[in-house]
């Protein structure tokens, strides 16, 4: 996830670009850059680090003359956050310059084709491919070049483009990444999101998929991919700037919950090709996969919960023994890591001190480390042997939601790949799992759509003192995360239990009205967990059940039902966690707490 802006008009462009980028920094903040046309030349300034670096280099934009320009704030996806990889990107002649938000999924293929034509690449980014592709198709007509390039690019993109030979125009285009444009009193402006332009206009045009915009200081024209002109109506924005940064949501957490369908899809889409799981870039050969004797999964917090889920999947699907460890425990014992162990570290930030220490310990013992990480170029990403990036984009709320969901997807894909290579699942079974995975974003969306019902339920429990979560197998792992979400942002004590353990102690805490949340997504375990529900019911607990649509067994014993759509049994966590995230969110909201910044907690725990 990145932020783009562009301006063409009567005023100096660079200060407007920097101002807009500052408002988009929540979309990415590992590098930034601007490019401005002036006096027959496109000048570019870009650097790794926060936007302030570019602001300092340009005297807050004042040193860059020119009234047409584009800018970018980056959240690295392809290539680490270095100066060279920062946007904008040029073609070789420096006559076309591009900023990009999104992911070009077929960039490797396009890159090798372009290299075959003699194009040289400076960066590791997918975006540089766009600049060269436009160059390849440019024969004097920018619209033609853009339309032809669009027909070759797969994936998502919002682009701002300047052609040196057309300095009176600024071009923009989008597919599956957000883009808005607007007329200001003195020009035209484009951005990834509303906050960047609120200081200049409140009337915006939302650009739809595969639409092209040609802007000048005084005009704005819209075209479809066939260069046919379109008529569009502006929309008036009433939000204030603060609300706009959160996309109109009151808290980032709810925004991020809502971003899950896209984040999940962005994580699996580039890795599914022709009905197989493609992890070629990870440098993990089929032979190595066949030789794995044990997986040792290490992480902290919610990332550890995805590891707990993954244990059932790697074992059940791929037949590989799995040990799951808390990083803070792993690092202070002498873990036995036999030959053929693959260590999997999971971390959103890639900077968690205990996880990093665990990685170093494993490497010292000569064990190969695969990291599932969200932040490109982070310490864990740099030090791991293999990195599987999740595509959640920046996560601001301390309580993780979308990064957690993307980590689950990473595990599913790895387990499917391992199982297939090791002959544990057939081509047909793999294909079925892939199509079940493709349905997850839509199903997550459906569950998010039921948020008002969850909010009504949440409002009844604002004064709860204790909440108990229980489940078996994957449902136990889901319970762990549901419980953590609730306690960290609502300050209500809650715990998660493997349902069979209840009778070994916890049941003594159950009293009249205690809220018990039971998770039942695993068909073979329904009956067992139902009998645990009966046990707590007979101690007068109030039981909320989260289960599959088809399960009618729990209805007779539950007090409140939440149904999730059917999916592959290994993917159930991706759906069952949604109502639990919403429950935690609405309880915290109802209590008037700071949902995004719970007391005593930090997003990234870089100390022990």
The catalytic residue positions are: 2, 603
With beta carbons less than 8 A apart as the criterion, state whether 351 and 606 touch.
yes
Which of 300, 408, 448, 544: binder of ligand G6P (CB under 6 A)?
A: 300
- Residue of 80, 481, 79 whose CA lies nearest to 299: 481
By DSSP bridging, strand 180-183 and strand 31-38 are: unpaired
Asked if 241 is part of the footprint of ligand G6P (rule: CB under 6 A), the reply reads: no
What CA–CA distance (Å, rounded) separates 513 from 515?
Answer: 6
With beta carbons less than 8 A apart as the criterion, state whether 27 and 75 touch.
yes
Environment class of 108 (CB within 10 Å of its CB; exposed 0-12, middle 13-18, buried 19+): middle
Of 172 and 369, the one with the shorter C-beta distance to ligand G6P is: 369
The residues with which 102 forms a beta bridge, in sequence order, are 157
Q: Is the dihedral of CA 191, 196, 199, 201 positive or negative?
A: positive
Which of 9, 301, 307, 579: binder of ligand G6P (CB under 6 A)?
A: 301
The residues with which 99 forms a beta bridge, in sequence order, are 160
Of 27 and 402, the one with the shorter C-beta distance to ligand G6P is: 402
Environment class of 249 (CB within 10 Å of its CB; exposed 0-12, middle 13-18, buried 19+): middle
Asked if 482 is part of the footprint of ligand G6P (rule: CB under 6 A), the reply reads: no
What CA–CA distance (Å, rounded) separates 325 from 71?
Answer: 43
Length of the chain counted residue by residue: 608
CB of 35 to ligand G6P, least distance (A): 33
With beta carbons less than 8 A apart as the criterion, state whether 164 and 37 touch.
yes
Of 235 and 601, the one with the shorter C-beta distance to ligand G6P is: 601
With beta carbons less than 8 A apart as the criterion, state whether 130 and 157 touch.
yes
Of 322 and 398, the one with the shorter C-beta distance to ligand G6P is: 398
Where do we find the tokens 């992890």? 279
CB of 350 to ligand G6P, least distance (A): 7
CB of 28 to ligand G6P, least distance (A): 17
Of 475 and 488, the one with the shorter C-beta distance to ligand G6P is: 488
- Region of 5-13, 173-181, 227-235, 294-302 interacting with ligand G6P (CB under 6 A): 294-302
Binding pattern for the stretch 410-439 against ligand G6P, x by CB under 6 A and - elsewhere: ------------------------------
CB of 400 to ligand G6P, least distance (A): 4
CB of 492 to ligand G6P, least distance (A): 17
CB of 252 to ligand G6P, least distance (A): 13
DSSP per-residue string spanning 331-399: TTS-----TTEEEEEEESSS--HHHHHHHHHHHHTT-EEEEEESSTT-HHHHHSSEEEE-------SSS
How far are the Cα atoms of 6, 51, 129, 157, 348 from residue 97, in angstroms, in the given order? 12, 19, 11, 15, 32
Asked if 605 is part of the footprint of ligand G6P (rule: CB under 6 A), the reply reads: yes
Of 303 and 416, the one with the shorter C-beta distance to ligand G6P is: 303
- Region of 34-42, 176-184, 203-211, 598-606 interacting with ligand G6P (CB under 6 A): 598-606
Of 373 and 564, the one with the shorter C-beta distance to ligand G6P is: 373
- Region of 21-29, 202-210, 297-305, 496-504 interacting with ligand G6P (CB under 6 A): 297-305
Q: Is the dihedral of CA 604, 490, 563, 531 positive or negative?
A: positive
Asked if 487 is part of the footprint of ligand G6P (rule: CB under 6 A), the reply reads: no
- Residue of 61, 54, 66 whose CA lies nearest to 8: 66
Q: Where are the alpha helices (DSSP H) in 395-499?
A: 402-421, 427-448, 451-459, 474-490
Asked if 178 is part of the footprint of ligand G6P (rule: CB under 6 A), the reply reads: no
| Local structure of 313: helix, strand or coil | helix
CB of 347 to ligand G6P, least distance (A): 3
CB of 106 to ligand G6P, least distance (A): 30
How far are the Cα atoms of 14, 41, 134, 214, 319 from residue 190, in angstroms, in the given order? 13, 21, 20, 11, 51
Size of the site for ligand G6P (CB under 6 A): 15
| Local structure of 263: helix, strand or coil | helix
CB of 588 to ligand G6P, least distance (A): 14
Asked if 604 is part of the footprint of ligand G6P (rule: CB under 6 A), the reply reads: yes
What CA–CA distance (Å, rounded) separates 484 from 149?
Answer: 46
What is the footprint of ligand G6P within residues 329-368 (CB under 6 A)? Answer: 347-349, 352, 355
Of 115 and 601, the one with the shorter C-beta distance to ligand G6P is: 601
Q: For the CA atoms of 582, 577, 175, 349, what is the dihedral angle to 10 degrees?
A: 100
- Residue of 491, 493, 496 whose CA lies nearest to 588: 491
What is the footprint of ligand G6P within residues 39-78 (CB under 6 A)? Answer: none
Of 556 and 600, the one with the shorter C-beta distance to ligand G6P is: 600
| Local structure of 207: helix, strand or coil | coil
Asked if 302 is part of the footprint of ligand G6P (rule: CB under 6 A), the reply reads: yes
Of 224 and 604, the one with the shorter C-beta distance to ligand G6P is: 604
CB of 480 to ligand G6P, least distance (A): 11
What CA–CA distance (Å, rounded) separates 364 from 147?
Answer: 52
Which of 115, 235, 527, 601: binder of ligand G6P (CB under 6 A)?
A: 601
Of 138 and 476, the one with the shorter C-beta distance to ligand G6P is: 476
CB of 384 to ligand G6P, least distance (A): 13
Closest residue to ligand G6P, based on beta-carbon distance: 301
What is the footprint of ligand G6P within residues 381-400 (CB under 6 A)? Answer: 398, 400
- Region of 111-119, 156-164, 508-516, 599-607 interacting with ligand G6P (CB under 6 A): 599-607
Structure tokens at 105: 């999924």
- Region of 163-171, 298-306, 557-565, 574-582 interacting with ligand G6P (CB under 6 A): 298-306
Structure tokens at 459: 């409002």
List interacting residues with ligand G6P (CB under 6 A): 300-303, 347-349, 352, 355, 398, 400, 601, 603-605
């Amino acid at each position: 996830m990145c932020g783009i802006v562009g301006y063409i008009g009567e005023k100096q462009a660079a200060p407007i670009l920097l101002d807009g980028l500052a408002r988009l920094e929540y979309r990415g903040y590992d590098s930034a850059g601007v490019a401005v046309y002036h006096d027959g030349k496109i000048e570019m300034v870009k650097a790794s680090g926060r936007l302030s670096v570019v602001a300092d280099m340009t005297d807050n934009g004042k040193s860059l003359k020119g009234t047409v320009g584009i800018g970018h704030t980056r959240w690295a996806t392809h290539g680490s956050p270095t100066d060279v990889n920062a946007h904008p990107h040029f073609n070789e002649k420096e006559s076309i310059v591009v900023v990009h938000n999104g992911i070009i999924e077929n960039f490797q293929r396009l890159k090798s084709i372009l290299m075959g034509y003699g194009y040289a690449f400076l960066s590791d980014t997918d975006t540089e491919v766009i600049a060269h592709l436009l160059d390849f198709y440019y024969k004097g007509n920018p619209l033609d070049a853009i339309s032809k390039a669009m027909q070759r690019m797969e994936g998502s993109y919002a682009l701002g483009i300047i052609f040196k030979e057309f300095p009176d125009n600024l071009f923009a285009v989008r597919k599956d990444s957000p883009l808005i444009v607007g007329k200001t009193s003195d020009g035209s402006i484009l951005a990834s999101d509303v906050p960047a332009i609120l200081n200049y206009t409140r009337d915006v045009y939302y650009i739809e998929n595969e639409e092209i915009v040609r802007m000048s200081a005084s005009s704005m024209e819209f075209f479809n991919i066939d260069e046919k002109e379109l008529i569009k109506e502006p929309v008036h924005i009433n939000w204030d700037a603060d609300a706009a940064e959160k996309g109109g949501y009151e808290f980032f957490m709810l925004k991020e919950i809502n971003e899950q369908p896209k984040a999940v899809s962005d994580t699996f889409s580039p890795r599914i090709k022709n009905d197989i799981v493609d992890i070629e870039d990870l440098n993990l050969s089929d032979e190595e996969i066949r030789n794995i004797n044990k997986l040792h999964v290490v992480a902290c917090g919610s990332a550890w919960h995805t590891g707990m889920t993954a244990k059932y999947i790697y074992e059940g699907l791929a037949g590989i023994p799995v040990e799951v460890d808390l990083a803070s425990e792993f690092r202070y014992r002498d873990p036995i890591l036999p030959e053929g162990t693959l260590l999997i570290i999971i971390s959103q930030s890639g900077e968690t001190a205990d996880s990093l220490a665990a990685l170093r310990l494993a490497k010292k013992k000569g064990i190969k480390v695969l990291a599932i990480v969200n932040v490109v170029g982070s310490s864990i990403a740099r030090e791991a042997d293999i990195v599987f990036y999740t595509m959640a984009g920046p996560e601001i709320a301390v309580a993780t939601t979308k990064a957690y969901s993307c980590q689950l997807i990473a595990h599913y894909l790895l387990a499917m790949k391992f199982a297939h290579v090791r002959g544990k699942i057939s081509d047909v079974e793999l294909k079925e799992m892939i199509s079940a995975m493709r349905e997850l974003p839509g199903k997550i969306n459906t569950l998010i759509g039921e948020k008002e019902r969850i909010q009504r339920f949440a409002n009844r429990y604002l004064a709860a003192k204790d909440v108990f979560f229980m489940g078996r197998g994957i449902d136990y792992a889901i319970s762990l995360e549901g419980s953590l979400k609730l306690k960290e942002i609502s300050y209500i004590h809650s715990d998660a239990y493997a349902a069979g353990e209840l009778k070994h102690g916890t049941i003594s805490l159950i009293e009249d009205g205690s809220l018990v949340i039971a998770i039942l997504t695993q068909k073979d375990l329904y009956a067992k967990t139902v009998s645990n529900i009966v046990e707590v019911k007979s101690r007068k607990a109030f039981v909320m059940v989260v289960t599959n649509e088809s399960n009618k067994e729990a209805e007779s014993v539950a007090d409140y039902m939440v149904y999730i759509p059917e999916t592959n049994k290994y993917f159930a966590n991706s759906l069952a966690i949604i109502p639990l995230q919403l429950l935690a969110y609405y309880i915290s909201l109802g209590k008037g707490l700071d949902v995004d910044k719970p007391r005593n907690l930090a997003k990234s725990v870089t100390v022990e």
